[in-house]
Amino acid sequence: MNELAGKHIVLGLSGGVACYKAAELCRQLIKEGATVQVVMTQAAEQFITPVTMQALSGRTVYGSQWDAREPNNMPHINLSREADAILVAPCSADFIARLVQGRADELLSLLCLARPLQRVPLLLAPAMNREMWAHPATQRNLVQVAQDGAVILGVGSGDQACGETGDGRMLEPEELVEELVAFFAPKVLAGRKVLITAGPTFEALDPVRGITNLSSGKMGFAIARAAREAGADVTVVAGPVHVPTPRGVQRVNVQSALEMQAAVERHLQSASVFIATAAVADWRPAHASSQKIKKDGSGDAPTLAFVENPDILAAAAKSRQALEGHLFCVGFAAESHDLLAHATAKRVRKGVPLLVGNIGPATFGQDDNALLLVDSEGHRELPRASKRVLAKQLIEDIASRLPR
């Protein structure tokens, strides 16, 4: 999608073994359409060479405030003025302390200090040993540097180069790109709480079998990411799928429709938007066997009785906050044929202002989709595109319908 097209990023590297991740980060930023200017401290050059970063960025790497290549001999001014953002990754404990103190005796901290505060954001991706991360001095410095206007992107947890395990790892390159894309996205849902259901449900017949469907959850999680990028506080209630959770999104895992209903009810009270993308099973076995149902050799299949599952979307649409205009409900319809007719009827039956339809067999498990938006005025098509693109378009549409 080239989601960073037109953005010029100054990528700063301070000293730390996580510099090896900066190479892939640079590559991914460029793949998303950004131009990247790398600036390295002398400590960073102990872990990765300027030659590597120059080859990946396609630009000469800067490392000295005395670089004579700049006609005015002011790289700290020129580089910071050209940037749409400065991203320091990895950002060491030492470099965070330098920012807090306003140190300016090397190029990277100097250009961070010289940047126009209101126009060029500073994003920090910390990377350090777990004890350094937890140290009161580091935590105190993080608070101060955030108060001074920097954006702290957080850290990962896991194995560290020193052999220890814990918090302090630099986020992975794809996570940092996701954070940068989110940072630049228009915040059309700022202050909103969005609740989303995603994936299928699984209705157990016995301990090893059940009724489910082919929904992958990809559309729901794409919408969750787009909503978070738009500034919303997002919770996803997910059926049994293995789609990774987007950065900054709360995930609640469930199996059955009854579990999904309970989770939705717990979170619905605080939501301002409810998007029901989950393909909830319409029925469940009236009685699930506590043991595996075995063949008896007769050739006769067991007789199974079913009961209807609750209508989670219709109940939300009839909730007090929806009726009072404090909750905007969006439904999804996965059909096999006659999409417009079925989606139109379902919108009325569910009592929701917006119903999004698609052809299930053509999209389940796929990375692309085509959507039909149905409301009281008619319908509008979103042509086939990646689910990522469609999710952003849908969030923009929903945001335009909400009260200001």
Catalytic amino acids? Answer: 162
Residue 136 CA, distance from chain mean position? 30
What are the start-end ranges of the E strands in 271-335?
273-276, 283-285, 306-308, 328-335
Residue in the block written with tokens 């200001």 = 404
Helix, strand, or coil (residue 124): strand
Of the CA atoms within 13 Å of residue 50, those in its CB half-sphere come to 14
DSSP 357-402: EEEGGGTTT-SEEEEEEEETTEEEEEEEEEHHHHHHHHHHHHHHHS
Q: What angle do CA 375, 376, 377 make, to 5 degrees?
A: 90
CB atoms within 10 A of CB 148: 12
Of the CA atoms within 13 Å of residue 97, those in its CB half-sphere come to 10
